[in-house]
Amino acid sequence: MIVFNIWSVLQWYLRPIIKWFLRKTTRLCELQRICYGEKAGAPRACGVERSLMLSRTQCVKEVVSYLDTVVYERRFVPGNFREILDPSISVVMRAKKINPKLHGSFIVSFRQCLEQIWSYRSLMDEVEEIRRTQFDSGNPEHEEKLLRLWSLLVPHDKLEKRVTKQWQYIGFQGDDPKTDFRGMGILGLENLLFFATEYPQASSHVLSHSLHPKYGYTFAIVGINLTSMAYYLLKDGSAKTYMFNAKRHLPNINLFHRFYCYLFYEFDKMWIESKPQDIMEFSIIFKKFENAIRTELADPSTVFRINIEIDTI
């Protein structure tokens, strides 16, 4: 820890000298070197974000603060990008003495990075708001989503009533699922519903594994645990690798749901491959899975895809 702190202090003081030297030798500022030298996606966007966060240039710091405010006000949406980003890019380019006529490709790359970085921050706020919203039995929309989850997962078996032991079939703990959503709020339900809606074959396949007489587990409860994992990976920035490498998609709530679906499908594969003796091994396998995901996300070139392979066990 002491060595790390000393190195951090040295970096803080040496950074301006290193940047000055590289600017003189390459005739490019740090942002240009990142946009021209790093691969599009997480390597480039994370590099740009780090450079902006560490900048000591006052007008650059003001741009960062302005974009954070726009996110806070919920105005950072694609329809507003031009009016928000054009002035911000101009300020940074003037501060860094970048000639727009000579560096048109830099503008394109830099804009893409800003869109990704602050879309991610906007997504964090949106996910946090959903997580804080508790399931309310008196809310018709919440109830409709819960009942739709059942109809998608168990289409040939109607619920006898709203509060029933039937919910345990899809992995809730008791007769009323609302008690299981307390930790992650309505976010847990929306993740499960997205999985069942967008990936009906995969979710049905995973549910069938959860009902296995020897290797079974509580489908919904595991799903909510994976919501928690996805939430914390998003919150601590680990999920940037997945979000920034998702081609043709900016970070948004649907991309977060797809990230969750990937986690659920891959956890199910690891669980079955582990051949646990019983459910008591859940914590060990779950932690092993989280460590594996964090290791993958630590590589900025990682791209996650759901590869559906229906098997039998």
DSSP string, 154-190: STTS--SSSS-GGGGGGT-SSS-GGGGGTTTTHHHHH
* Token pair 């030297």: residue: 21
- The string of pLDDT tens digits covering residues 155-198 is 999 999 999 999 999 999 999 999 999 999 999 999 999 999 99
Q: Answer whether 0.85 is exceeded by the pTM.
A: yes
AA identity, residue 182: R
| Residue pair 177/136 in contact by the 8 Å Cβ criterion | no
| Residue pair 230/190 in contact by the 8 Å Cβ criterion | no
Nearest CA among 155, 234, 230 for reference residue 191 = 230
- The string of pLDDT tens digits covering residues 27-79 is 678 899 999 999 999 999 999 999 999 998 999 999 999 999 999 999 999 99
AA identity, residue 79: G
| Residue pair 21/59 in contact by the 8 Å Cβ criterion | no
Say what the pLDDT of residue 225 is: 97
When pLDDT is cut at 50, 70 and 90, the band that residue 7 belongs to is very low
Say what the pLDDT of residue 29 is: 87
| Cβ atoms within 10 Å, residue 210 | 20
User: Minimum mean pLDDT among 100-104, 192-196, 201-205, 281-285: which range?
Assistant: 100-104
Mean pLDDT on 81-97: 95
When pLDDT is cut at 50, 70 and 90, the band that residue 1 belongs to is low
Say what the pLDDT of residue 6 is: 55
- For 57, residues 6+ apart whose C-beta sits below 8 A from its C-beta are 95, 96
| Residue pair 75/28 in contact by the 8 Å Cβ criterion | no
Instruction: Enter the tokens of residue 241.
Output: 């690798």
Mean pLDDT on 202-227: 95
Mean pLDDT on 214-237: 96
Say what the pLDDT of residue 278 is: 86
